[in-house]
């Protein structure tokens, strides 16, 4: 079902995050070696590294793409207490390095006093916004008032919680019925503090985010959190990576006096599924685009895929080993190892980035 | 933290014990130093000069060396050092340029021993010789280093670095005569104490000031330096040229660096500003601190390992006026919180996965979850000594691609491309879309389209294939069981509205069950269509094939039942091999082909009667009669669309919404519609299906959506002749009266797609320009511009 294609990433330390862009043709990786690499998919499906540069003076925890409407833009966050926004500039046409892309730092967000553990862009319809969260428990919301000027970001709001934050996720819903929503997970190891996931909602009246929900049942450190793509649903689905994989359903309860809401929407929280198949810490969760499949990875070095049947019963449909070897006991025989050699640095890979030099119009 | 820990040192005889503890000082500390037997620590600062005893539970103030009513500037210390051979001997570097020694053995309150006022500016560093009792070295802001013999009143020799201020001086641990000095201009010099005229060696270690240096306690050649450039570098000095062998990147300028005792690869650093933490690095893994101590609230100014053979106790003084003893076991380990894996789903169902190699290759280094791994009995766990394990690690990156046959999102792209949403009569659109869905192996979607056609078509236009098809599929026994059941429930008339309503309730019930109650224990019973069928048909004995054909039949006949049937199965498309059964569209075509028939009610009856028995006629008459108005189905369709949307198939919801148009629009509130449109358009744009996306935008009725493609529609064009901006009156330039839209390649006027270079304004037919630029990089108009087509 799946073919594993291994890529010689050539990072000098742990890779902490992998991120696909909006169209699924580019990939960014970040590592403790303080660098970020950008990979472009060639026509034959190979991934070629088109850029690699030092981004921070500490481990880079996360890297994330902005919507391509804003250009080819990446954000990264690091142990060095900063988050940075990068934009790709394609080499000049008469340049020897034609097609080689350069990434330019547009801004450094230096408000945090501790390690910045996650950075995420807001859904496109909200404009150019991003949030960061840091190890001292502060979540920050930034906005670029002028989308053409990536070097100017204003800090909209700071929300402190007592617990160190580890991950953050925007609700992708574009419905006007849903207020913008952010979920923040904490990796504080003290299980005495219950509620390691906080959900904040934008309040139109105050123009601020306020706490809407606290998932009290999550008491173990949370390492990753991901809203499922909304796709026209009336409710939200949230996956959480903690000591196990959990899937929550958040149903907004429509208030009677909907006009001029002064407080956050009440959410009805249901737990849809909970799996400890990894038998260890779960580090990452990720949804596919149609939000029918959830992938999780844990300390066991395996990726597990989860799928719901029509009854909303979630079941494991595949187990993938990181090196592509099949896993005994996997329901579907996954991962035929066909290890393609590491990609060469193909420099003349035309990049889709930058501003188009040619345009089409009906004549 | 409360627990005491006892650590035996390499010295064996003396045992250090203690815990993480701190005490408040009266003033910010500038430097600290510890006495040889690790029982006392001296803290020096601008306004403080005290000795504290290190006890098990706390610091105890032993002695205040700032005496006298008006302490002189000599007490204002930039640095302090306790002699490692002579217990009573201390030296301080004063901010006024004095080097002072203190003899604790003095009986008087003032312990000041000697005073050297030879430096002209602040003395940054003092350093005793590690083995020689009377030899003291100082380094000053004035750029000189001086060596003092404590038996004499003045310095023995002066070393001129001739490269700005001296920040640090350190005697080599192994070479009796050698010392290293670091400078503000980034240089490090090596000196022989016997040759004050010239340094032995000099090299540039950092860009910007080198604030500190430290010789490795065991390896004679290694020197660690830290600078304002945020780096710690380790130099191998045994070779002819100083060779950088390790480099650690920290997050702030490095103020102090101290090798960790008994650990070859470890060193501790603290920063001069911004960062208040103390880091312990393993130089082999220079990116992540091995351990951090985060207690201080202000800049840490002095760090010292408590005992030269004990790696577990670190003392630190800070500008926040505290003195800390850090226990290594209480340190935080950033790497423990670092995520060893990255995982991301791509758009096409491929999965990028990066993981620590040791996690993938085996369970060797796997940390068991605190709760215990249930796969192994607990006694199999051997706890590796994680505290000191910090080897170099790397990650493996791989992409799992769904193999081509089952490319997971292909159906979406194909469906989006092939669906017809407008431009044809309603029934044809439905048929077309049903066919598309069928070809993509989505029988449920296909059935839904067929159903929609039947439900919403005018009876007059209702084409015959539907009933005809039923007639062929539905076997007599089926019909009988069906009719019996319905008969049992009442007369035919009750099939009308009241019936529909009761079915509605059932639907709600079923939906409720399936969506919300995930703990339903009767999953097995309701799974798939069998359960539903039984529910509907009672005891009727059916084999599978019959069942499907019957399902098909019913979905065609009763919208309500169809709902019950399709909804659950939609999430389960591949479970039943429906494709193996005779499929509706094929039949439709077939039937169309071999029975050219008139349309209308008459035909309907006609084609039913010859095949089926009398009982069927009596039933099917009211079912297919035009007495069921289209609005009757609207609530059902609304439910269905919501169901598709909640299942993640917003494509279906939007497509049906567009095709049905006014028939259903009023049933669904605007917000939801807008939400569906937005979601679908976003998806289409992800797949770069711009044309489909634009079509959807155009066909939508939500004002918020239709305006999406009406922004930024202005194009500013330059005349390709005179290069002036064109007016908006067409393609004839105002100034040169030439047609601006002439193809530069074929010199004809372009009708259709026109592409032009924004640099030189020349352009032409898309294909022509494309071909031209394949062979040449210059503008086809010959203007010499290097056009770029991206």
Q: Which tens digits make up the pLDDT trace of B256-284?
A: 999 999 888 899 999 988 888 999 999 88
Q: Closest chain A residue to B651 measured between Cα atoms? A: A231
The verdict on a CB contact (< 8 Å) between A59 and B396 is no
Tell which of A322, A325, A328, A359 to mutate to test the B interface (max B CBs under 10 Å).
A322
The verdict on a CB contact (< 8 Å) between A311 and B678 is no
In this prediction, residues B143-168 reach a mean pLDDT of: 89
Tell which of B207, B292, B341, B409 to mutate to test the A interface (max A CBs under 10 Å).
B341
In this prediction, residues B62-67 reach a mean pLDDT of: 85
pLDDT at A169: 95
CB-based contact (8 Å) between A7 and chain B?
Answer: yes
The verdict on a CB contact (< 8 Å) between B402 and A2 is yes
Our CA-based measurement puts residue B407 at a distance from the nearest CA of chain A, in whole angstroms, of 9
Reported in sequence order, the residue ranges of B65-161 that DSSP labels E, i.e. its strands, are 77-82, 89-94, 99-103, 112-116, 123-128, 135-140, 144-149, 155-160
SS3 B524: helix
Q: Which residues between 630 and 689 in chain B have a beta carbon less than 8 angstroms from any beta carbon of chain A?
A: 642, 645-650, 653-654, 671-672, 674-676, 678-680, 682-683, 685-688
The verdict on a CB contact (< 8 Å) between B397 and A9 is yes
The verdict on a CB contact (< 8 Å) between A3 and B403 is yes
Q: For chain A, what is the mean pLDDT? A: 81
The verdict on a CB contact (< 8 Å) between B751 and A363 is yes
Q: Indicate the range of B127-131, B279-283, B619-623 predicted with least confidence.
A: B619-623
Most confident of A252-256, A328-332, B750-754: B750-754
The verdict on a CB contact (< 8 Å) between A16 and B249 is no
Joined together, the tokens standing for residue B489 give: 């429930």
Q: Which of B352, B402, B758 sits opposite A20 (nearest CB)?
A: B352
Q: For chain B, what is the mean pLDDT? A: 74
In this prediction, residues A169-197 reach a mean pLDDT of: 87
Q: Indicate the range of B49-53, B172-176, B491-495 predicted with least confidence.
A: B491-495
Q: Closest chain A residue to B349 measured between Cα atoms? A: A288
Q: How many CB atoms lie within 10 A of CB A283?
A: 23
CB-based contact (8 Å) between A289 and chain B?
Answer: yes
More reliable by pLDDT, B759 or B366: B759
Q: Closest chain A residue to B570 measured between Cα atoms? A: A310
Rounded to 10 degrees, the C-alpha dihedral A85/A91/A97/A101 comes to 30
Our CA-based measurement puts residue B360 at a distance from the nearest CA of chain A, in whole angstroms, of 5
Q: Which of A23, A34, A283 sits opposite B688 (nearest CB)?
A: A23
Rounded to 10 degrees, the C-alpha dihedral B754/B755/B756/B762 comes to -60
CB-based contact (8 Å) between A251 and chain B?
Answer: no
pLDDT at B67: 77
Q: Closest chain B residue to A359 measured between Cα atoms? A: B755
More reliable by pLDDT, B665 or A69: A69
More reliable by pLDDT, B84 or A329: B84
CB-based contact (8 Å) between A204 and chain B?
Answer: no
The verdict on a CB contact (< 8 Å) between A5 and B788 is no
Alpha helix (H) ranges present in B339-489? 357-361, 410-418, 426-439, 443-456, 465-473, 476-489
How many Cβ pairs within 8 Å bridge chains A and B?
347
CB-based contact (8 Å) between A193 and chain B?
Answer: no
Per-residue confidence band for B8, with pLDDT thresholds at 50, 70 and 90: very low
pLDDT at B262: 87
Our CA-based measurement puts residue B57 at a distance from the nearest CA of chain A, in whole angstroms, of 25
Q: Could you say which DSSP state residue B778 is in? A: B
pLDDT at B580: 42
Most confident of B191-200, B570-579, B661-670: B191-200
Give the CA diameter of chain A: 68
Q: Which of A24, A283, A336 sits opposite B346 (nearest CB)?
A: A24
Our CA-based measurement puts residue A75 at a distance from the nearest CA of chain B, in whole angstroms, of 16
Our CA-based measurement puts residue A62 at a distance from the nearest CA of chain B, in whole angstroms, of 9
Reported in sequence order, the residue ranges of B277-386 that DSSP labels E, i.e. its strands, are 278-282, 291-293, 300-307, 310-318, 322-327, 341-345, 351-356
pLDDT at A91: 60
Our CA-based measurement puts residue B177 at a distance from the nearest CA of chain A, in whole angstroms, of 37
The verdict on a CB contact (< 8 Å) between A310 and B409 is no
In this prediction, residues A98-108 reach a mean pLDDT of: 80
Distance CA A110, CA A114 (A): 10
Expressed in angstroms, the distance from the first to the final Cα of chain A is: 47
CB-based contact (8 Å) between A363 and chain B?
Answer: yes
Q: Identify all chain B residues contacting A6, using CB atoms and an 8 Å cutoff.
A: 396-398
CB-based contact (8 Å) between B399 and chain A?
Answer: yes
DSSP assignments along B584-605, one per residue: HHHHHHHHHHH-----SHHHHH
pTM above 0.80, yes or no: no
Residue B326 burial by Cβ neighbours in a 10 Å radius (0-12, 13-18, 19+): buried
In DSSP terms, A185 is beta-bridged to A167, A197
Q: Closest chain A residue to B297 measured between Cα atoms? A: A113
Q: Which residues between 523 and 582 in chain B have a beta carbon less than 8 angstroms from any beta carbon of chain A?
A: 523, 526-527, 567-572
Tell which phi-psi region holds residue B625, choosing left (phi > 0), alpha (psi between -120 and 50) or beta. beta
CB-based contact (8 Å) between B381 and chain A?
Answer: no
Q: Which residues between 341 and 360 in chain A have a beta carbon less than 8 angstroms from any beta carbon of chain B?
A: 350, 352, 354, 356-360
Rounded to 10 degrees, the C-alpha dihedral B485/B487/B493/B497 comes to -20
The verdict on a CB contact (< 8 Å) between A5 and B398 is yes
CB-based contact (8 Å) between B715 and chain A?
Answer: yes
Q: Identify all chain A residues contacting B527, using CB atoms and an 8 Å cutoff.
A: 309, 311
Q: Indicate the range of A230-234, B54-58, B121-125, B661-665 predicted with least confidence.
A: B661-665
Q: Which of B516, B645, B789 sits opposite A231 (nearest CB)?
A: B645
Q: Closest chain B residue to A90 measured between Cα atoms? A: B790
Per-residue confidence band for B469, with pLDDT thresholds at 50, 70 and 90: very low
CB-based contact (8 Å) between A315 and chain B?
Answer: no
Going by C-alpha positions, the residue among A247, A243, A178, A190 that lies closest to residue A215 is: A247
Distance CA B192, CA B213 (A): 17
Q: What is the pLDDT of residues A126-180, one digit of tens each?
A: 999 999 999 999 999 999 999 888 999 999 999 998 889 999 999 998 888 888 9
Q: Which residues between 226 and 265 in chain B have a beta carbon less than 8 angstroms from any beta carbon of chain A?
A: 230, 249-251
Q: Indicate the range of A199-203, A208-212, B437-441, B783-787 predicted with least confidence.
A: B783-787
Per-residue confidence band for A318, with pLDDT thresholds at 50, 70 and 90: confident
Q: Which residues between 91 and 120 in chain A have a beta carbon less than 8 angstroms from any beta carbon of chain B?
A: 93-94, 115
Q: What is the pLDDT of residues B217-237, one digit of tens each?
A: 887 789 999 999 999 999 998
Q: Which of B341, B676, B753 sits opposite A283 (nearest CB)?
A: B341
Q: Indicate the range of B278-282, B645-649, B724-728 predicted with least confidence.
A: B724-728
In this prediction, residues B707-715 reach a mean pLDDT of: 74
Q: Closest chain A residue to B527 measured between Cα atoms? A: A311
The verdict on a CB contact (< 8 Å) between A309 and B572 is yes
Q: Identify all chain A residues contacting B745, using CB atoms and an 8 Å cutoff.
A: none
* Contact present, B674 and B705 (Cβ < 8 Å): yes
The verdict on a CB contact (< 8 Å) between A299 and B400 is no
Question: Is the pLDDT at A62 greater than 70, yes or no?
Answer: yes
- ipTM value: 0.85
More reliable by pLDDT, B464 or A57: A57
Per-residue confidence band for B138, with pLDDT thresholds at 50, 70 and 90: very high
Per-residue confidence band for B164, with pLDDT thresholds at 50, 70 and 90: confident
pLDDT above 90 covers what percent of chain B? 21
Q: Closest chain B residue to A188 measured between Cα atoms? A: B337
Q: Identify all chain B residues contacting A12, using CB atoms and an 8 Å cutoff.
A: 287, 394
* Contact present, A317 and B408 (Cβ < 8 Å): no
């Amino acid at each position: 079902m799946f073919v594993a294609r291994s890529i010689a990433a050539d990072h000098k330390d742990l890779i902490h995050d992998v991120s696909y862009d909006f169209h699924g043709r580019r990939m960014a990786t970040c590592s403790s070696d303080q660098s970020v690499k950008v990979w472009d998919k060639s026509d034959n499906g190979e991934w070629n590294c088109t850029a690699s540069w030092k981004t921070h003076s500490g481990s880079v925890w996360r890297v994330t793409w902005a919507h391509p409407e804003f250009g080819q833009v990446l954000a990264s966050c690091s142990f060095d207490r900063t988050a940075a926004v990068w934009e790709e500039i394609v080499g000049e046409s008469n340049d020897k390095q034609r097609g080689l892309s350069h990434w330019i730092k547009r801004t450094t967000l230096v408000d945090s006093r501790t390690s910045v553990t996650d950075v995420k862009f807001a859904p496109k319809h909200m404009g150019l916004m991003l949030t960061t969260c840091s190890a001292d428990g502060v979540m920050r919301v930034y906005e670029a008032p002028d989308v053409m000027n990536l070097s100017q970001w204003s800090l909209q709001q700071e929300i402190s919680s007592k617990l160190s934050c580890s991950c953050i996720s925007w609700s992708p819903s574009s419905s006007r019925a849903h207020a913008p929503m952010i979920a923040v997970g904490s990796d504080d190891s003290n299980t005495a503090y219950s509620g390691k996931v906080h959900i904040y909602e934008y309040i139109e009246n105050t123009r601020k985010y306020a706490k809407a929900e606290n998932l009290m049942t999550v008491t173990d450190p949370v390492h990753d959190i991901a809203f499922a793509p909304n796709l026209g649903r009336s409710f939200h689905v949230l996956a959480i990576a903690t000591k196990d994989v959990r899937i929550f359903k958040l149903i907004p309860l429509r208030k009677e006096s909907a006009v001029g809401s002064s407080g956050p929407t009440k959410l009805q929280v249901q737990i849809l599924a909970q799996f400890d198949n990894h038998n260890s810490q779960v580090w990452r969760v990720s949804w596919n685009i149609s939000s029918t499949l959830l992938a999780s990875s844990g300390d066991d070095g395996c990726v597990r895929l989860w799928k719901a049947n029509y009854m909303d019963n979630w079941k494991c449909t595949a187990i993938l080993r990181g090196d592509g070897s099949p896993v005994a006991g996997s329901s579907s025989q996954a991962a035929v190892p066909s290890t393609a050699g590491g990609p060469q640095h193909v420099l003349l890979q035309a990049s889709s980035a930058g501003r188009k030099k040619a345009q089409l119009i009906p004549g | 933290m409360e627990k005491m820990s006892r650590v035996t040192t390499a010295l064996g005889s003396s045992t250090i014990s203690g815990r993480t503890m701190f005490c408040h000082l009266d003033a910010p500390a500038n430097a600290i130093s510890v006495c040889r037997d690790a029982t006392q620590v001296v803290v020096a600062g601008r306004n403080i000069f005290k000795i504290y005893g290190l006890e098990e539970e706390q610091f105890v103030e032993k002695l205040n060396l700032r005496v006298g009513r008006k302490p002189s500037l000599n007490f204002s210390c930039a640095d302090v050092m306790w002699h490692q051979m002579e217990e009573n001997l201390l030296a301080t570097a004063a901010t006024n340029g004095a080097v002072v020694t203190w003899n604790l053995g003095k009986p008087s309150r003032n312990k000041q021993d000697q005073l050297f006022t030879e430096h002209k500016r602040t003395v940054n560093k003092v350093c005793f010789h590690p083995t020689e009792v009377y030899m003291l070295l100082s380094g000053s802001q004035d750029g000189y280093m001086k060596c003092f013999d404590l038996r004499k009143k003045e310095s023995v020799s002066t070393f001129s670095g001739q490269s700005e201020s001296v920040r640090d001086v350190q005697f080599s641990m192994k070479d009796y005569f050698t010392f290293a000095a670091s400078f503000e201009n980034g240089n490090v010099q090596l000196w022989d104490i016997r040759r004050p005229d010239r340094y032995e060696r000099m090299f540039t270690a950092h860009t910007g000031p080198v604030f500190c240096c430290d010789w490795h306690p065991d390896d004679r050649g290694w020197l660690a330096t830290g600078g304002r450039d945020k780096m710690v570098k380790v130099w191998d000095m045994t070779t002819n040229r100083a060779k950088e062998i390790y480099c650690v990147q920290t997050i702030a300028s490095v103020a102090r660096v101290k090798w960790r005792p008994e650990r070859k690869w470890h060193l501790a650093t603290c920063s001069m500003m911004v960062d208040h933490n103390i880091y312990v690095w393993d130089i082999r893994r220079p990116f992540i601190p091995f351990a951090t101590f985060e207690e201080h609230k202000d800049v840490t100014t002095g760090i010292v390992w408590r005992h030269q053979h004990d790696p577990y106790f670190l003392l630190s003084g800070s500008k926040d006026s505290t003195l800390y003893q850090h226990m290594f076991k209480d340190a935080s380990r950033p790497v423990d919180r670092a995520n060893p894996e990255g995982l991301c789903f791509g758009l096409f169902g491929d999965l990028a996965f990066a993981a620590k190699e040791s996690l993938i290759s085996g369970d060797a280094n796997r940390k068991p979850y605190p709760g215990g791994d249930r796969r192994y009995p607990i006694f199999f766990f051997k706890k590796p000594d994680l505290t000191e394990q910090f080897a170099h690690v790397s990650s493996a990156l791989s992409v799992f691609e769904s193999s081509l046959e089952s490319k997971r999102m292909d159906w979406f792209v194909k469906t989006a491309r092939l669906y017809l949403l407008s431009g044809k009569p309603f029934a044809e659109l439905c048929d077309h879309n049903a066919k598309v869905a069928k070809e993509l192996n989505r029988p449920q979607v296909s059935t839904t389209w067929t159903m929609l056609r039947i439900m919403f078509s005018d009876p007059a236009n209702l084409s015959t294939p539907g009933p005809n098809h039923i007639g062929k599929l539905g076997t007599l026994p089926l019909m009988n069981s069906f009719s019996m059941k319905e008969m049992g429930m009442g007369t035919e008339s009750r099939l009308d509205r009241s019936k529909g309503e009761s079915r509605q309730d059932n639907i709600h019930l079923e939906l409720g069950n399936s969506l919300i109650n995930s703990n339903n224990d009767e999953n097995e019973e309701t799974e798939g269509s069998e359960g539903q069928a039984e529910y509907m048909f009672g005891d009727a004995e059916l084999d599978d094939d019959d069942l499907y054909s019957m399902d098909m039949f019913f979905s065609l006949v009763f919208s309500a039942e169809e709902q019950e049937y399709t909804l659950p199965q939609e999430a389960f498309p591949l479970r039943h091999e429906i494709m193996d059964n005779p499929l509706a569209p094929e039949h439709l075509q077939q039937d169309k082909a071999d029975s050219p028939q008139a349309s209308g009610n008459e035909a309907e009856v006609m084609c039913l009667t010859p095949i089926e028995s009398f009982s069927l006629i009596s039933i099917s008459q009211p079912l297919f009669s035009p007495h069921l108005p289209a609005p009757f189905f609207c609530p059902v369709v609304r439910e269905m669309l919501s169901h598709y949307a909640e299942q993640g198939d917003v494509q279906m919801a939007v497509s049906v919404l567009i095709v049905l148009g006014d028939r259903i629009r009023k049933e669904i509130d605007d917000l939801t519609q807008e939400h569906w449109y937005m979601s679908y358009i976003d998806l289409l744009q992800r797949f770069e299906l711009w044309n489909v996306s634009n079509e959807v935008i155009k066909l939508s009725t939500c004002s918020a959506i239709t305006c999406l493609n009406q922004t930024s529609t202005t194009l500013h064009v330059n005349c390709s002749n005179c290069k002036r901006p064109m007016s908006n009156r067409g393609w004839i330039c105002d100034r040169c009266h030439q047609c601006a839209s002439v193809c530069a390649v074929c010199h004809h006027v372009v009708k259709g797609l026109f592409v032009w270079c924004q640099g030189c304004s020349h352009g032409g037919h898309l294909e022509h320009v494309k071909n031209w630029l394949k062979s040449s990089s210059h503008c086809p108009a010959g203007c010499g511009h290097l056009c770029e087509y991206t």
